[in-house]
Amino acid sequence: MGEIKTNRRAWRHGALCMAIGMGLAMSGAAVAANTDGSIVGRTKAGATVTVRDPSTGLTRTVTAGDDGTYRFPFLPVGHYRLESSKDGQAVAEPAEVNVSLGTATTVNLVERGSATTNLEGVQVSAPVVISAVDVSSTETATNISREEIRRLPVDQNVASVALLAPGVNKGNASFGGISFGGSSVAENSFYVNGLNVTDFYNRNGFSEAPFAFYQEFQVKTGGYSVEFGRTTGGVVNAVTRSGTNEFKTGAEMTFEPSAWQATTKNHYWNGERYITSSEDNYSRTKMNVYASGPIVKDKLFFFAMYEARGYTPQNTDNLGTVLTQNDTDSGFWGAKVDWHIDDKNLLEFMAFSDKNKNLGSVYNYDYDTHTKSARKDVITSNTGGRNWNGTFTSYLVDDLSMKLMYGRNEREDFTRAQSDIDCNPVARASAVPGPGVPLGCSTSTAVEKRNDTRKQGRADFEWTLGDHVVRFGYDHEVDTSIYSRRYPGPGSYYYNIYATTPGATIENGGVVPAGYNAYVRARRYEIAGTFETTNNAYYVEDNWNITPDFLLNAGLRRDAFDNKTGEGASYIKMDDMIAPRLGFSWDLKGDGTMKVFGNLGRYYLPVANVINIKQAGGLLDQRTYYAFDGYQVLDRNGSPYAMPILGPQIGPVDDSQGDGTVGDLRAEVDRHMDSVYQDEAILGFQQAITDTWSWGVSGTYRKLHNAIDDMEISATPQCGGDGYIGYVMGNPGRKLTVYGDTNCDGTPDGYIDIDTSKAGWALYDADGNYLGQRGWKKPRRTFGSLEFQVDRAWDEKWMFNASYVLSWSRGNAEGPVNSDTNFDDTGRTENFDDPWVNLSGGYLPNDHRHQFKLRGTYAITPQWQVGADLTALSGSPITGYGVGNPFDATVYHSYFICVDNCADPVSENRVYERSPRGDKRTPWTFNLNASITYLLPIDEKNNLRVKFAVYNLLNQQRTLGVDQDLQTSVGGLNPTYLQPQRFQSPRFGQLTVSIDF
């Protein structure tokens, strides 16, 4: 080690700080665009530096400055040859350089014969991948290339790639998604070739292409540039494959037969089967073919792909009385065209379609005999859409470059069934006895159609000014949703049957009559319209090398969000949201082997389109409650089914969530609403131990400020309980300005200011007497983590990466969705409907105290490789929810449990205890994936690859989520509290065979 240190001192300030193959490195670079990378470094002052892509002939040349610095921005991801010369003489040996997505690769080209050419055995020629410290980085990111994924047991979807990054975990609700650094699943952004493909309706999901269409991924977990915004979670950034001067074709087949899947376990509660899943299985087959090459050599290239898909899942309902067999047979197509107009101008076009159609055939099913009836229904679902963008890149002059992009992202979601006219959906809590035949005559729960279209344009510039690299730009997008939804069946009702006790008070305030142990909620839900949101942002960023060893990154982003009604009028409009970001990177030894870095930043989150629809679209959400008088068995096409018999109505009809009209939005939206934003601080250290080994540690602190959600304003400071306004979209716990009754004559006539931290909620006793008012607690969410990571880069023999994250996520608000109560209307949750829902702070649903991730590949021989990926995750918090509170007669989700006098009609006589948030935990989960790969080089150009992977090798099916309702009525203990409801997916095998010509 002493000799190594001596050599490093000798080439201080002249070392080759490589970031080749950043898929294994711990951080990306702050000074690179979102669709490409950069090469930067030093050479002889005034030298001519040339970079060339041998596969496409792309060549760029710049002249080094007086201090010897040079820079190539906006380089397409790929492999390059770098040369430097002056007065016709080479300054240094040429370097082979890989440019990764979103990273700046530092290459110092030094004079021949100097000590700096001794690189301690580090090779820079591809395909050797070298993990190194990137001293130009002030963010935390993980790059993962297509080749690395092919060596590892990574399931073929983008979420599985993102989950390789430290601090990224699956969501904790049935609506799925991924969580970055304690954030909810509805706070992330996803890009393909610079095109934003995030689902803007609910912000949980994205448009997706097959693995074989992508070239590289970058998963940004914090500290990212002002170029990225509209997220308080994380960013998944991807680029697709492109053509070269070499004609190539290939095919890839993926098989996942049902015979390679472990049986999903049934689940029992008090001796009764309440989840029937042993009949659930699927078969999946995919056939992918591609072709690429030159249309005009060194000028015009293409890449085209088609994937045929066969997917046939089947599943039963929880009772095992209904079987649905699905058939998905849809093809993906995608293409990329690159035109190298000249060495200073590039034009590229990308397009793909992820449209998908599924037919679900529904049968009555006898679990005991494993027999099914004649088909009784067909459910049809259409999803996905077409996506495209065009990008123009230009080197205007050596020091100024430009990138222009325009694109379109489409997503469809259309579900309907043959039985929609005749059949209402019916469901029951497991504590309610079943009828012995299927509930309802359809498993369809919605007739829903949504078409989302994003039109997006952006311009990005980079200007080098001495020691400063200034980046600035503008992006603009228009997000339009055409939406309609209703429940199927007569009257568009969905019937839910719940267990209760006589005399219990249910959520609409009604009291269960004597003799009844169950009640029915008949919910009618209808909405339709066209809604638009416009988002735009400006940004500017300066990357200043104050010294050769110290980089300061300072940026400013200005966002604006404009959500509109179905008539096109603005109703939630927020401007001048200023997001400052400041980062630094200090090359401690000046040789690129050790750095300290940090970042401070602010990030804003837009309002999802679901808010436009629900708040400004004439939503009818009508809930009527009845005593349950048993079942009526009916028949449809020879198949029996049961419907609930409605007994006496309990309490009033509740249409507080929407009465079918678009009201005066001045009375429904805060006039001066502030956006949701998050502040983040990161401090880290990274060191290259050897040419292949590196390690690092970082700490992250995040604090979410503000929430946008609906509150029921039932009182005002001016008129007390007589000033009822209704549900208002605003910032809970902050000042609210809304149109209402200023002189208490019952007629709205002006704007009212309400400090919702102190007022806005009317308190009443059981007799309806007004007791005064109170406000809401401000939303709080803090996240702190310590991340440790060690990395061993791939060297054609083996690689290894391990990370451990110790973290805490605490507060009283998860974010714009509620995972613990399974509520996914982003930004319109029940969290602030009344002051009691978020009264308690504690550990939040995405809190996992300990997170271990290990992955690696080992080449037994040049033909055989084995790979493994292990995740060990501590459990998530469990809260025992009640429905009442000791402050008034409200019956709704709360953190209080009635323990005495619960049946007393006088609410003041009831005795409550606090039920702490997150005082229990789900168990640890372990997931081990393993693979073996056979590589056969047929000749110099043709290769065969066969990979067999087993996911969840140990067949762990541990509990991921439980029933968290401790009481569903005042005093009525829920018999299924803590009942496991969601589980790990069982073991399955996957065979992938690919051949490239």
Instruction: Give pLDDT tens digits for 661-696.
Output: 888 899 999 999 999 999 999 999 999 998 889 999
Query: How far is residue 380's CA from residue 431's CA, in Å, rounded to a whole number?
Result: 31
Q: Report the 10 Å Cβ neighbour count for 688.
A: 25
* Pair type for strands 214-222 and 140-145: antiparallel
Integer Cα distance of 613 and 201 in angstroms: 9
User: What is the rounded CA–CA span in Å between residue 543 and residue 106?
Assistant: 15
Handedness of CA 720, 722, 723, 727 (dihedral sign): positive
The residue written with tokens 């994380």 in the block is: 234
- Residue in this structure with the two tokens 């200034």, named with its chain if needed: 470
Q: In this structure, what DSSP letter does residue 669 have?
A: B
**Do 310 and 284 contact (CB within 8 A), yes or no?**
yes
pLDDT of residue 33: 57
What does each C-alpha distance from 941 to 62, 246, 301, 935, 997 come to in angstroms? 34, 10, 19, 13, 6
Other beta carbons within 10 angstroms of residue 744's beta carbon come to 12
Closest CA to 139 of 27, 19, 20: 27
DSSP β-ladder status, 248-256 and 988-996? antiparallel
Question: Comparing C-alpha atoms, which of 473, 577, 477 is closest to residue 532?
Answer: 477
Q: Measured between alpha carbons, how far is 69 from 820 in angstroms, rounded to an integer?
A: 53
Cα 400 to Cα 175, 395, 624, distances in angstroms: 45, 6, 65
Q: Whose CA is closest to 51, among 101, 105, 87?
A: 105
Residue 996, burial from CB neighbour count under 10 angstroms (0-12, 13-18, 19+): middle
What are the Cα distances from residue 37, in Å, to 83, 195, 475?
Answer: 18, 16, 20
Whole-number Cα distances in Å, 88 to 47, 49, 57, 278? 10, 12, 21, 74
Q: Could you report the per-residue pLDDT of 923-980, keeping only the tens digit for each?
A: 999 999 999 999 998 877 778 999 999 999 999 999 999 999 999 889 888 999 999 9
At residue 674, what are phi and psi to the nearest 5 degrees? -100, 155
Q: Which residue in the block uniquely carries the two structure tokens 């080098």?
A: 464
The pLDDT score that the predictor gives to residue 972 is 85
> How many angstroms separate the Cα of 13 from the Cα of each of 153, 221, 314, 632, 916?
40, 30, 62, 84, 56
Tens digit of each residue's pLDDT (9 = 90 or more) over 765-802: 888 889 999 999 999 999 999 999 999 999 999 999 99
Reported pTM: 0.90
Q: Which of 670, 559, 656, 560 is nearest to 614 (CA)?
A: 656
- Judged by DSSP in three states, 975 sits in coil
What per-residue confidence (pLDDT) applies to 118?
Answer: 34
Concatenated DSSP letters for 553-601? EEEEEEEEEEEE-TTS-EEEEEEEEEEEEEEEEEETTSSSSEEEEEEEE
pLDDT at 112: 52
Q: What is the CB-side half-sphere exposure of residue 195 using CA atoms within 13 A?
A: 29
Query: What's the token pair of residue 237?
Result: 């950034």
Question: What was the pLDDT predicted at 111?
Answer: 63
CB 771 within 8 A of CB 763: yes
Alpha helices in 139-201 (DSSP H): 146-151, 158-162
DSSP E strand boundaries for 706-849: 709-713, 726-730, 735-740, 750-755, 761-764, 770-774, 781-792, 798-811, 842-843
The HSE-up count of residue 94 (CA atoms within 13 Å, CB side) is 11
Ranges of residues in the chain whose predicted pLDDT is under 50: 1-32, 113-131
C-alpha dihedral, 497 to 502 to 503 to 509, nearest 10°: 10
Distance of CA 357 to the CA centre of its chain: 23
Q: How far is CA 132 from the centre of its chain?
A: 29
Q: How far apart are CA 883 and CA 17, in angstroms?
A: 60
Structure tokens at 409: 């992202």
Task: Give one DSSP letter per residue of 339-353, joined into a string.
Answer: EEEETTEEEEEEEEE
DSSP state of 89: E
Residue located via tokens 């006039």 = 671
User: Which SS3 state, helix, strand or coil, does residue 609 take?
Assistant: helix
Q: Please tell me what DSSP assigns to residue 695.
A: E
Residue 613 structure tokens: 């629809």
Task: Give the pLDDT of residue 209.
Answer: 94
pLDDT tens digit string along 286-303?
999 999 999 999 999 999
Rounded CA Rg of the chain: 30
Please report, to the nearest 10 degrees, the dihedral formed by the alpha carbons of residues 219, 224, 226, 232 taken in order: 80
